[in-house]
Structure 1
Amino acid sequence: MEPVKVLVVDDSALMRRIVKDIFNADPRFKVVAIARDGVDALEKIIKFQPGLVTLDVEMPRLNGLATLKEIVRRFDVPVIMLSSLTQQGSQVTVEALSIGAVDFITKPELHHGNVKETLKEQLLTKAAVAAQVKVQSGPVPVLPPKLVPQKPAVRSAAKVVAIGASTGGPRALEAVLLSLPQNLPAAVLVTQHMPPKFTKALADRLNKAAAIRIKEAEEGEPILAGVAYIAPGNFHLEVASDHTVRLTQDPPVQHVRPSATVMMLSAASVYGKQMVGVILTGMGKDGADGMVEIKRQGGSVLAQDEATSAIFSMPRAAIQAGAADQVLPLEKIAAAITSLCGR
């Protein structure tokens, strides 16, 4: 099998060398070119036709976001962003995922310890997944303006929608959450595999355009209809018996924390048949066991179809477990949720 051709784009010569060495030490990859800024990168995509691009956020001449927009518009190549662990870095990264980046990697500080070893595992793991994603060039998506002002949520939720997502999830969540109506008679619980800071940036960005309120979940807050609660990075989101949020740092489940399965099992134990479970695009099997339990309790379960999933692994696992009443294209999931919650 031919190795995946990689273009490494970064304005730091040291970081270019580190990333190049990591890839070239793995037989699955071959760095065919490096670029020091966006202008250079666009020229080298044409020349070398890579199967994967790693893209720094902060660069001269043409920064990461501007470069990404051109790549999405012109080329069928998956992109992984390299982001700093700052608040600004998290906001830019979430915007990049909305534009069309497949995934992101948090860059370690160059003066902290062994940068190469710190970067190696997440880079190779995420690159192997990203290289499988089939992307199509096209218009750059734009976050729509909020059409109606949000109303304060005051009513305790009698129904709950639990959504799990991973790779490709931010764009899928944007499509679903921004299509839910303001008067949705249910709360929405979301587990998106992301590190701390990035989940809050995701919630804040989506909240700017949604009819429902979207926020990062906080310990002890009531679960209210018309509000979506996103699990904070590195915390499982659970539901307490008094219908409030419980955040825990119990061990990862299937190597992830937050875990969609943990969230769904907990919610199903409280809401029973008043549940809708949804599995969106993502790598791995997280959420499948939770979806099985929701269905066992009499709730409804939806899975995103393969054609619209960036990575079909999570939906496939739920479907193979018999935990999908409907397998739907992404654009039909919000309407299905709304219909089920209105029953």
Structure 2
Amino acid sequence: MIRVLIVDDSALMRRHLNNLLSKERGFETATARNGIEALDLLERQDFDVVTLDVNMPEMDGLTCLSRIMANKPTPVVMVSSLTEEGAEATFEALALGAVDFVKKPSGTISLTIDRIEESLIAKIKGAAKARLKRATNLRHRLVEQRQRAREAPPKTTPPARGVAAVGMVLIGVSTGGPTTLERILPLLPANLPWPVVVSQHMPGNFTGVFARRLNTICHLEVVEVDSQMPVVAGRIYIARGDGDVVFSQRGGRLLAMPMPAGADYFWHPSVERMVESALSQLPAEQLIGVLLTGMGNDGAEAMTKLKQRGGQTIAQDEDTSVVFGMPAELIARKGASVVLADEDVAEQVSIWLRVHGAFKQGGRHAG
């Protein structure tokens, strides 16, 4: 039985969320109207997961979240609006220790609540299994990382930037991903000779905000794939949410483009579809696959194929995964070349590219 505390200032939203979870076997629920009530309930009772609205009177969701993490750490799934402001607040919540988020229904709640049912239930089940202590530790390291980024000298254009891609680093991630990516991507060097493409399960309204957020802390330029664009060195590409990213070639140049969500894929942006498309355009030995924290098995089959064809793959280890589902599936299929802690991923990518001779190659092509 998963005990869930629903925190929302809207009586209608509380009722609908309560009804949605109550009809699903394996859940027991309680409700609170605001952050103050939530903290009082958490002091007196134990819950496996909290769903927390961002905007509430008396005590907003971010303040409530920070106190939950300080006083009684409990897995939290944020319920967020799809506005840019809502996206910014959600990323702050994830940095504070929230495990995941679900988009708040738009329009008439009674008519739209069913659209989030499957996602909400899956995310609550995933949050109940989350390694919360690790997520909280990541938050503290992220604060330190941002401080270092503010103190660092301005970005300079490295020799490799703009060079046509001869290979790619493909990263797939879901639950716990934003904070994990904010830990890994800033460790990649400015002269990384292969571009990086990321499929993070996320709504379309969030990925642009996320790309801009990452761009402030990474040595490499970070962009959202919101239109067809060349894939070049010196750049990190974030697949646009609610759809998928695929690749093609034109005039000898590799292109990335957003595509409508494929019906054959459950999660979006789909890691599986991204890797399959990359394999159709480049030899496996010119690809590095990285499968990070997340529920389910998205990307495990395609990355196993990548390894079998001669590519290299990394699975995040259990200790540093917020949810071990996706990397565990890759390991179970014997599709992981190595299993690493999150903080070691960037270094391993750089080591492999040095073995490839890609750093020297990138510099030479850049002239």
For the Cα contact (< 8 Å) 1:222–1:245, is it kept in 2? yes
CA distance in 2, matches of 1:41, 1:110: 26
Distance apart, 1:259 and its partner CA: 1.1
Distance apart, 1:42 and its partner CA: 1.6
* 3-state DSSP of counterpart to 1:189: strand
Of the candidates 14, 19, 27, which is equivalent to residue 12 of structure 2? Answer: 14
Query: Which aligned pairs between 1:60-75 and structure 2 lie closer than 5 A?
Result: 60-75=57-72
CA distance in 1, matches of 2:155, 2:308: 34
* Percent identity (aligned): 37
Distance apart, 1:98 and its partner CA: 2.5
* 3-state DSSP of counterpart to 1:66: helix
1:247–1:74: structure 2 CA closer, same or farther, 3 Å change rule? Answer: same
Query: Which aligned pairs between 1:208-223 and structure 2 lie closer than 5 A?
Result: 208-223=216-231
Amino acid aligned to 1:128: K
Gaps (5+ residues) in structure 1?
Answer: none
Distance apart, 1:293 and its partner CA: 2.8
Of the candidates 311, 315, 319, which is equivalent to residue 331 of structure 2? Answer: 319
Question: What residue in structure 1 maps to residue 295 of structure 2?
Answer: 283
Distance apart, 1:158 and its partner CA: 2.5
CA distance in 2, matches of 1:207, 1:192: 16
| Higher share in helix | 2
Measured against aligned partners, the alpha-carbon deviations of 1:300-335 in whole angstroms (never above 9, x if no partner) come to 111001111111111111112221110011111111
For the Cα contact (< 8 Å) 2:131–2:321, is it kept in 1? no
Measured against aligned partners, the alpha-carbon deviations of 1:240-281 in whole angstroms (never above 9, x if no partner) come to 123111222262344123211211122233332121110001
1:125–1:221: structure 2 CA closer, same or farther, 3 Å change rule? Answer: same
Amino acid aligned to 2:242: N
CA distance in 1, matches of 2:84, 2:48: 30
Question: What residue in structure 2 maps to residue 37 of structure 1?
Answer: 34
Query: Which aligned pairs between 1:119-198 and structure 2 lie closer than 5 A?
Result: 119-136=116-133, 138=136, 140-141=139-140, 142=143, 144-145=146-147, 146=149, 147-152=152-157, 153-198=161-206
Distance apart, 1:112 and its partner CA: 5.3
Distance apart, 1:342 and its partner CA: 2.3
Gaps (5+ residues) in structure 2?
Answer: 356-367
Question: What residue in structure 1 maps to residue 307 of structure 2?
Answer: 295
CA distance in 1, matches of 2:200, 2:175: 9
Is 1:340 aligned with 2:352? yes
For the Cα contact (< 8 Å) 1:281–1:313, is it kept in 2? yes
Is 1:265 aligned with 2:276? yes
Of the candidates 235, 239, 244, which is equivalent to residue 231 of structure 1? Answer: 239
1:162–1:119: structure 2 CA closer, same or farther, 3 Å change rule? Answer: closer
**How many residue pairs are counted as aligned between the two chains?**
340
Report the more deviating stretch, 136-145 or 117-126. 136-145
CA distance in 2, matches of 1:75, 1:206: 29
For the Cα contact (< 8 Å) 1:252–1:259, is it kept in 2? no
For the Cα contact (< 8 Å) 1:268–1:297, is it kept in 2? no
CA distance in 1, matches of 2:206, 2:268: 14
Distance apart, 1:110 and its partner CA: 5.2
Amino acid aligned to 1:70: R
For the Cα contact (< 8 Å) 1:75–1:136, is it kept in 2? no
* 3-state DSSP of counterpart to 2:15: helix
For the Cα contact (< 8 Å) 2:16–2:110, is it kept in 1? no
1:112–1:69: structure 2 CA closer, same or farther, 3 Å change rule? Answer: closer
TM-score (norm 2): 0.87
Question: What residue in structure 1 maps to residue 360 of structure 2?
Answer: none
Question: What residue in structure 1 maps to residue 255 of structure 2?
Answer: 244
Report the more deviating stretch, 194-203 or 14-23. 14-23
CA distance in 2, matches of 1:157, 1:339: 18
* 3-state DSSP of counterpart to 1:334: helix
Distance apart, 1:196 and its partner CA: 0.7
Distance apart, 1:232 and its partner CA: 0.3
TM-score (norm 1): 0.93
For the Cα contact (< 8 Å) 1:150–1:213, is it kept in 2? no
CA distance in 1, matches of 2:111, 2:350: 49
